[in-house]
Amino acid sequence: MIYFFQQALNAVQLGSVYALIALGYTMVYGVLSMINFAHGDFFMVGAFLCFVGAALLHLPFVPVLLLSMTGVTLLGVATERIAYRPLRNAPKVSAIITSLGVGIFLENFTLGLSPYPKYIPQLLPSFTYTVGGVSVSTFQLATIGISFLLMFALHLIVNKTKAGLAMRAISADRAVVPLMGIPVDKIIALTFALGSGLGGAAGVMYAMAYPVIDPYIGILVGWKAFISAVIGGIGNIRGAVLGAYILGMVEIMTAAFLPSTYRDLVTFSLLLALLIYRPRGLLGRAEIQKV
């Protein structure tokens, strides 16, 4: 039983990182019906800004977190303005291809600065507590705690503010929203800002928990987060969080109770099975498309 709880804790930590990134995918999809494949690389830039803050500027934890979140927020807004807005009325596929291009650009730009993997110095004191046989490290507590805090903040913004109302309105029907006097461009920029900021925070959490980073970390983690969003029902905020924890749980528990080689096999088989029975994800709503 202790073994199970230990693994469950590992799963919650992994799920928290996936959740923060999955939110970025799902929010952008919610307002634009577009998949921003560069989002995984925004996350990677967040991790590298963490390196800049921690290893080069020797900042403590909170300023590093703020630096990464601000930096990636600006990157997200700039990308939307430069690369995605001109394509707003182009076919969806063009925007998706552009986002892939932005991602490859970011990877190679970072690679061009320095090809060596970076090591992140410890930002928090490292302790391991043992509670009833289960080992808990300060990093796990920080990752889980900060993720919950940020997700709660996002929940408030989306559900309790006017901007959040506007976001939800755009998600429901983008054609009608401008007629109500809502500045669509600003709201979309805000959505990108929020999603990217969370991605930046995820980068810091990730870099603390797994302190060797390279320009390609965004690819695999980004895919996993994207899958989380799809499992939960892409476009749905609560769905993304739910999907992330399910994915974290399945990945860890597969490795825990089956040979670890089957991890991705089981994970992706479950995803396929789920999509057959619920093509819109767990919390996604059915949508009738007029042709």
Partner 1 sequence: MKSKNIMAILAFFFVLAGCGKPKTDTVRIGVIAEITGAIPAVGASCKNGAQMAAGEINDAGGIDIGGVKKKIELFIEDSASKPEQAAAAAQKLIARSEVLAIVGPNSSSNALPAAEIAEKSATVLMTPWSTDPKTTIDSKTGQAKKFVFRACFTDTFEGKVLGGFARKELKAAKVAVLYDVSSDVLKIQAEMFKKSFEENGGRIVALETYTKGDKDFSAQFTKIKNARPDLIFLPSYYTDVPLQVQQARRLGIKAPFLGSDAWSSEDLVKMCGADCEGSYLLNHYSPGTTNPVTQKFIADYKARFGGSTPDDVAALAYDAFGVLAKAVARAGTLDRAAVRDALSQIPAYPGVTGVIKYSADSGDPVKGAVILQIKNGGFSWFADAQP
Give the nearest distance from C-beta 289 to partner 1 in angstroms.
36
Residues that bind partner 1 (rule: CB under 8 A) add up to a total of 39
Binder of partner 1 out of 87, 157, 165, 253 (CB under 8 A): 253
Would you count residue 263 as binding partner 1 (CB under 8 A)?
Answer: yes
Of 100-119, binders to partner 1 (CB under 8 A) are 111, 115-117, 119
Q: Which of 251, 267, 271, 281 binds partner 1 (CB under 8 A)?
A: 251
Handedness of CA 99, 234, 209, 66 (dihedral sign): positive
| Contacting partner 1 within 194-213 (CB under 8 A) | 206, 209-212
Q: Give yes or no for residue 25 binding partner 1 (CB under 8 A).
A: no
d(CA 5, CA 86): 49
**Which residue has 């509670």 as its token pair?**
131
The DSSP symbol for 117 reads -
Among 90, 172, 220, 275, binds partner 1 (CB under 8 A): 220
Give residues with Cβ within 8 angstroms of 165, minimum separation 6.
none
Closer CB to partner 1, residue 27 or residue 106? 106
Among 69, 252, 271, 283, binds partner 1 (CB under 8 A): 252
Taking CA atoms, 54 is separated from 60, 66, 187, 209, in Å, by: 7, 12, 33, 14
Rounded to an integer, what distance in angstroms lies between the CA atom of residue 37 and that of residue 25? 8
Tell which one of 175, 260, 272, 289 touches partner 1 (CB under 8 A).
260
Shortest distance in whole angstroms from residue 241 CB to partner 1: 18
53 contact partners, CB below 8 Å, separation of at least 6 = 59, 63, 64, 67, 68
Give first-to-last CA distance, the chain, whole Å: 53
Residue type, 134: V
Rule CB under 8 A: choose which of 59, 141, 219, 282 binds partner 1: 219
> Given candidates 157, 184, 256, 274, which one binds partner 1 under the rule CB under 8 A?
256
Minimum distance, C-beta of residue 252 to partner 1, in the bound complex (Å):
5
Between CA 188 and CA 290 the distance in angstroms is 24
Instruction: Give the C-alpha separation, 16 to 98, whole Å.
Output: 28
Question: Which residues here bind partner 1, judged by CB under 8 A?
Answer: 3, 6-7, 10, 13-14, 111, 115-117, 119, 126, 128, 130, 135, 137, 139, 206, 209-212, 214, 216-217, 219-221, 251-256, 259-261, 263-264
